[in-house]
Structure 1
Amino acid sequence: MKKTVTRLADGRELVYYDSRDDAVRGAVDQRPLGPTSTTSEVRHDVLLGDSVAIASHRQGRTYHPPADECPLCPSRDGRLSEIPADDYDVVVFENRFPSLAGDTGRCEVVCFTSDHDTSFKDLTEEQAGTVLEVWTDRTAELAELPQVEHVFPFENRGAEIGVTLGHPHGQIYAYPFATPRANLMLRSLREHREKTGRNLFDDIVERERAEGTRVVLEGAHWIAFVPYAAHWPYEVHLYPKRRVPDLRGLDDEARTEFPQIYLELLRRFDRIFGEGEPPTPYVAAWHQAPFRAAGRADFALHLELFTIRRTSGKLKFLAGSESGMSVFINDVPPEAAAERLREVASE
């Protein structure tokens, strides 16, 4: 993989990741952009103990542009976009409307392909493998920033999720703190270790393999299952069988197998609700260990994939119990969700 670092007209960093070593990336951003101006601020909630990013400049971000004005497509035919080149494999650049910036962290956009009319599930295994290498490289790069404590690569797909740009892309948030979800997992890890002497993540994976009813897909190096207490109607957790704290720890065998397993999961997600249904909206979220957290070595890298669609034409809204008290109520039994995801396997 060849990596080429350049700058956009307003000074933001852009990085090309090419599968070919002879790729030349000399295109210059010709847009008349002034320096970016952000108002990101992180405020600590003393009652709940978590943090909130205040980012008023995001009110003016690009919102559902027509396909011929997509800012994530290559610059071609006289139209200039966020990517100066006329084609690309994978591109990462600093978000023009970041939730976190400067001392409060960093937000990046990851464009998975130059093809506007596709989705992650349509990538080849080679392309998906390149994206995995990009996530890993960005984790390593962002780990070197002194203000960054936790790196979160993720993809939101579908307008129902809140996506404002239709081009296949994801984001990476580099937080200046360990996120509440990570802290809860670390606390559970610690309590389980104190009580049993064992690793909680290892026990979870072993339980799912032993019971089998919620296992969706298993390879030599990865296992995917619907969790016992799934929050979402269709939710799958994907773990490497060799526990590592973040993407940097994956070995070559796990990296090679990942595209096969993950692409199959995404294709199954689009078949859950039957033929003729629109693409399934989803969130795909990588959970990695915070860099300086106590108990980091016990953390298990994993990906959580879920949809807010509970049945054909109906969404799972976070209403009173979920939004007000963080108590989820799931309409689909996890065992039934796993069975459905096994039924729609590729032939």
Structure 2
Amino acid sequence: MMNFDLNEHPHRRYNPLSGEYVLVSPHRMKRPWQGQVEKKDETVRPKYDPKCYLCPGNERAGGEKNPQYESTYVFTNDFAALKEDVPSGSIEKGNLIRAQSEKGICKVICFSPRHDLTLPQMETTAIVKVIELWQKEYEELGSHPEINYVQIFENKGQMMGCSNPHPHGQIWAQSTVPLEPAVVGKHQGDYLQKYGNSLLADYIQLEQEEQERIVLENEHFITLVPFWAVWPFETMLISKRHIQNILQFTEEEKQAYAEMLKQLTILYDNLFETSFPYSAGIHQAPTDGLEHKEWHFHHHFYPPLLRSATVKKFMVGYEMLGDPQRDITAESSAERLRSLPSVHYKDA
């Protein structure tokens, strides 16, 4: 009788942060690819684009003019999904129709005045300034009595719906904790109560023992392809120290975090020699005034590319109706990322 093999046989992997499962079908990687294959986009962007509404000195879509900023720059989104001046109210009809008003603040963070840069091409010192701005906004927005969660994230590339290539991210702060961090927080809390340890601290220890899915590691952070990853080259960057939010970083941790963000995004770009698209964001404790010892700081990267610079993974069919599914295993994804050069392909 055959023995079950994670690298050969279909199986479901459990995500302890969400309670969900992903179907893994490693045998499907042996099938021939007959789908779309295109060459990568080699568009060269200028350092300054007079038509870009995020470049220094330019007029934004909402009519405001950007200052001649020389480092990072933050402003309230001109077309925000959430607003502060929303009247309190709710609607409820029977047991099935329910809605309530939601207050919030949405901001845009420009990582650099340079239109042609992305995180992997920025200096580490410049990335530290981005982290410091994340800290400042997390603290200031979280101090508002009506703000209970601050979501810091970045959408990079047209493939991820990013309408402007200028290096930037967003912050959405709102009165309720959104579904994803609420679920992740609950599972971390349940684990802490049951075992007395941080879920992610125990997970880091397990990964360090197995040495199969770790991509990068330094004194303060570890980046790995989680065992339960859904996207082909999904990674999670985790603080080794059990801290709840970005304000608790030491100066050494802040520097190590910046270095790892640069190293990881270089590996992504080098994978298919393209400016690698992704959605990425920080998961950390709510700002509701509670201690939240269960939370352990981590940063998710969800990149869509599967086989080349243009061939992406779609969530379709069974994945929309059943469970997420992937063919390439987390172990093989981690191995591919680890094997890539540490110097950006444009600088090699």
Give SS of 2:242's match.
Answer: coil
C-alpha contact (below 8 Å) 1:246/1:289 kept by paired residues: yes
C-alpha contact (below 8 Å) 1:93/1:108 kept by paired residues: yes
Aligned ranges 1:101-180 → 2 under 5 Å = 101-102=83-84, 103=86, 104-180=103-179
* TM-score, normalisation: structure 2: 0.75
- Separation in structure 2 between the aligned mates of residue 262 and residue 180 of structure 1, nearest angstrom: 26
Deviation at 1:86, TM superposition (A): 2.8
Aligned ranges 1:40-79 → 2 under 5 Å = 67-75=49-57
Give SS of 1:341's match.
Answer: helix
Aligned ranges 1:1-347 → 2 under 5 Å = 67-75=49-57, 80-81=59-60, 82-102=64-84, 103=86, 104-273=103-272, 275=273, 278-292=274-288, 296-312=292-308, 313-325=310-322, 327-346=323-342
Q: Which whole-Å deviations, capped at 9, do the CAs of 1:300-329 have from their partners, x for residues lacking one?
A: 11111120111113111121333344x211
Give SS of 1:238's match.
Answer: strand
- Separation in structure 1 between the aligned mates of residue 192 and residue 269 of structure 2, nearest angstrom: 38
Identity between Structure 1 and Structure 2 (%): 30
- Separation in structure 2 between the aligned mates of residue 84 and residue 127 of structure 1, nearest angstrom: 19
Deviation at 1:259, TM superposition (A): 1.6
Deviation at 1:243, TM superposition (A): 1.3
Give SS of 1:132's match.
Answer: helix
Give SS of 1:270's match.
Answer: helix
C-alpha contact (below 8 Å) 1:161/1:283 kept by paired residues: yes
- Separation in structure 1 between the aligned mates of residue 290 and residue 128 of structure 2, nearest angstrom: 31
- Separation in structure 2 between the aligned mates of residue 199 and residue 87 of structure 1, nearest angstrom: 40
Deviation at 1:219, TM superposition (A): 0.4
Q: Which residue identity lines up with residue 321 of structure 1 in the other structure?
A: Y
**Residue aligning to 1:47:** none
- Separation in structure 1 between the aligned mates of residue 340 and residue 128 of structure 2, nearest angstrom: 24
Q: How many residues align?
A: 275
Are the structure 2 counterparts of residues 300 and 191 from structure 1 closer, same or farther at C-alpha, using a change threshold of 3 Å?
same
Runs of 4+, deviation exceeding 6 Å: none
C-alpha contact (below 8 Å) 1:72/1:83 kept by paired residues: no
C-alpha contact (below 8 Å) 2:237/2:300 kept by paired residues: yes
Deviation at 1:90, TM superposition (A): 0.5
Deviation at 1:166, TM superposition (A): 1.5
**Residue aligning to 1:12:** none
- Separation in structure 2 between the aligned mates of residue 86 and residue 241 of structure 1, nearest angstrom: 38
Give SS of 1:272's match.
Answer: helix
Q: Which residue identity lines up with residue 316 of structure 1 in the other structure?
A: K
- Separation in structure 1 between the aligned mates of residue 195 and residue 113 of structure 2, nearest angstrom: 49
- Separation in structure 1 between the aligned mates of residue 246 and residue 329 of structure 2, nearest angstrom: 31
Q: Which whole-Å deviations, capped at 9, do the CAs of 1:205-260 have from their partners, x for residues lacking one?
A: 11111111000011011111110110111011111111111101111210121221
- Separation in structure 1 between the aligned mates of residue 80 and residue 285 of structure 2, nearest angstrom: 22
C-alpha contact (below 8 Å) 2:119/2:261 kept by paired residues: no
- Separation in structure 1 between the aligned mates of residue 226 and residue 189 of structure 2, nearest angstrom: 20
Deviation at 1:295, TM superposition (A): 7.0
C-alpha contact (below 8 Å) 1:190/1:295 kept by paired residues: no
Q: Which residue identity lines up with residue 261 of structure 2 in the other structure?
A: Y
C-alpha contact (below 8 Å) 1:73/1:83 kept by paired residues: no
C-alpha contact (below 8 Å) 2:189/2:295 kept by paired residues: no
Give SS of 2:243's match.
Answer: coil
Give SS of 2:144's match.
Answer: coil
RMSD value, Cα: 1.9
- Separation in structure 1 between the aligned mates of residue 172 and residue 331 of structure 2, nearest angstrom: 32
Deviation at 1:262, TM superposition (A): 1.1
Any gaps of 5 or more consecutive residues in structure 2?
1-47, 87-102, 344-348
- Separation in structure 2 between the aligned mates of residue 150 and residue 225 of structure 1, nearest angstrom: 26
- Separation in structure 1 between the aligned mates of residue 320 and residue 179 of structure 2, nearest angstrom: 15
* TM-score, normalisation: structure 1: 0.75
C-alpha contact (below 8 Å) 2:55/2:66 kept by paired residues: no
C-alpha contact (below 8 Å) 2:54/2:66 kept by paired residues: no
- Separation in structure 1 between the aligned mates of residue 202 and residue 287 of structure 2, nearest angstrom: 23
Are the structure 2 counterparts of residues 67 and 339 from structure 1 closer, same or farther at C-alpha, using a change threshold of 3 Å?
same
Q: Which whole-Å deviations, capped at 9, do the CAs of 1:158-191 have from their partners, x for residues lacking one?
A: 0000001111100001021111111211221233
Are the structure 2 counterparts of residues 293 and 215 from structure 1 closer, same or farther at C-alpha, using a change threshold of 3 Å?
farther
**Residue aligning to 1:10:** none
